[in-house]
Homo-oligomer: A and B are copies of this chain.
Amino acid sequence: MTRSWWGWGEVGQAVTGEEAASLVARAAALLPDHDFTPHDPPDPASLDLPAPRVAVPPRLRAVASTEATDRLAHARGKAFRDVVRNLEGVVGPLPDVVLRPRDDDEVAAVLEWCSGEDVAVVPYGGGSSVVGGVEPRVDGPAVTLDLGRLDRVLEVDATSRAARVQGGVLGPHLEDQLRPHGLTLRHFPQSFEFSTLGGWLATRAGGHFATLHTHIDDLTESVRVVTPAGVAESRRLPGSGAGPSPDRLFLGSEGTLGVITEAWVRLQERPRWRRTASVAFASYEQAVDATRAIAQSGLHPSNCRLLDPAEAFLNAGSSSGAVLVLGFESADHPVDDALARALVIAAEHGGEASTQEPGDASGAAASWRSSFIRMPYQRDAMARRSMVVETFETACTWDRFPALHAAVTAAAQEAAGRVCGAAVVTCRFTHVYPDGPAPYYGVYAPGRWGALVEQWDEVKASVSRAIVDNGGTITHHHAVGRDHRPWYDEQRPDAFAAALSAAKSVLDPAGILNPGVLLDAGRRGRLDP
């Protein structure tokens, strides 16, 4: 497969032909005056890259690349603002070198060299960050540490259903290696094909399970982290109460404390029983109440995604109001009764269910699923046509959701209306908990070529303000990176920030690891792109 250097995923999967025409036709119906002329990405060879500012020491030369497309492809993540800057041919902060270590010793050698020479190190998994997490936005030289060669399952413990896995493995390759053992991690973020286990751990990624074990945190038995101060490897344990959890310091550390090169993860058998249903609600408020009741029922659906009417219309082809997509799965026992009970709860709140037989690919649930995988490619296609298309997400307690949702929607509408003239704002719950939902918003607005990044940044600042002011988290599973820093800093208790900073000062005394992410970068960093 050939990865796109400028946009999402695989080159061969990009939106073209009929799919593009259909997208444009649907958008043009709403925006008759918009200029949908597609802008092509520049030829990387035509871009003027600064020469690398560092000389790689001999022992690392075999794993170093200063090739232009390599440096460009590693310079940014895959947020809307990243893709647009790539399309515009804007050369921003670039890694001077891309390093692809083959083992922990080479990772340690990179950290030692960079600590000594004061070179920033950006750990890089699949590069799917949407928060500026892999962009070397630092003063002075920087290298990107691409973990892609650490891609093996090293050990499988079928008795405990766990595996020791290297951090650089991409989702599909991980599952391929587990399949012969009859086991699966079943962690399927939207970025699954283009993100790595190490990246999931470093960013506390959210998987496809809508309830119960939502974050990769819950699937983690132990981690191995190479830090400039040495290797930290925790003990494989199903549960422990021995002091603060060592793993939980590294989970979510986003490459600022060390490089996660291995982990023991908890596996499952493949599900043998599955049932799905869609439930339509005329009232969004009632749909929210139904979703809350199901989240609090102890039924633990694997899927429990509430699409608001706009999301249901745009991405599931349903015009009957809000749609709750429900799914249950088990490797051990039938789940018909669980689904039936959830549908009773939904009906008590005015929901009208349509269940699917296993394997049935029709209906709102199925069309939403297939649309889900295409969304990032479609985002790129529309970005090329001067549309602002981006998402953001949060989580809050149920009592605060109505006010947060109203404020966030209003902020998005107001800001997008001001800078773009109009906008469609959609919402779905990606995950739900007994005490609150994780709402995920989409914004679709007509932009101006050349101004797209500034337009989106205004909307983003406005909705982030509303999220933080209304008790939400600045991110449920997209991570903090550099782009979420101002609001993360507000949300984070100051005393914890001080503790984290102190921890970093002993693990990364030279301050080389992903400067500017989570914490101020000291003398080296800058927050502006």
A233-B493 in contact given A395-B239, A434-B266, A499-B507 (Cβ < 8 Å): yes
From residue 137 to 182 of chain A, which have CB atoms closer than 8 A to chain B? 157, 159-162
Whether B242 and A473, one on each chain, are in contact in the complex, defined by CB atoms closer than 8 angstroms, is yes
Whether B238 and A395, one on each chain, are in contact in the complex, defined by CB atoms closer than 8 angstroms, is yes
Which of B204, B232, B395, B505 contacts A496, CB < 8 Å?
B232
From residue 433 to 476 of chain A, which have CB atoms closer than 8 A to chain B? 433-438, 471-476
Contacts of A251 in B (CB 8 A): 244-245
C-alpha spacing A239/B241, complex, angstroms: 21
Whether B231 and A333, one on each chain, are in contact in the complex, defined by CB atoms closer than 8 angstroms, is no
A44 to chain B, nearest CB (A): 32
Of the 9-residue stretches A18-26, A64-72, A111-119, A252-260, which lies at the interface with chain B?
Answer: A252-260
Of the 9-residue stretches A90-98, A396-404, A406-414, A417-425, which lies at the interface with chain B?
Answer: A396-404
Contacts of A160 in B (CB 8 A): 397-399, 434-436
Chain A contact residues: over half helix, strand or loop, or mixed?
loop
Contacts of A253 in B (CB 8 A): 243-244
Whether A243 and B507, one on each chain, are in contact in the complex, defined by CB atoms closer than 8 angstroms, is no
From residue 224 to 246 of chain A, which have CB atoms closer than 8 A to chain B? 225, 227, 229-246
Contacts of A237 in B (CB 8 A): 395-397, 436, 472-473
Whether A241 and B204, one on each chain, are in contact in the complex, defined by CB atoms closer than 8 angstroms, is yes
User: Counting CB contacts under 8 A, is A373 at the interface?
Assistant: no
Whether A239 and B476, one on each chain, are in contact in the complex, defined by CB atoms closer than 8 angstroms, is yes
User: Counting CB contacts under 8 A, is A249 at the interface?
Assistant: yes
User: Counting CB contacts under 8 A, is A361 at the interface?
Assistant: no
Contacts of A502 in B (CB 8 A): 499, 502-503, 505-506
- Nearest B residue to A223 via CB reads B493
C-alpha spacing A395/B221, complex, angstroms: 12
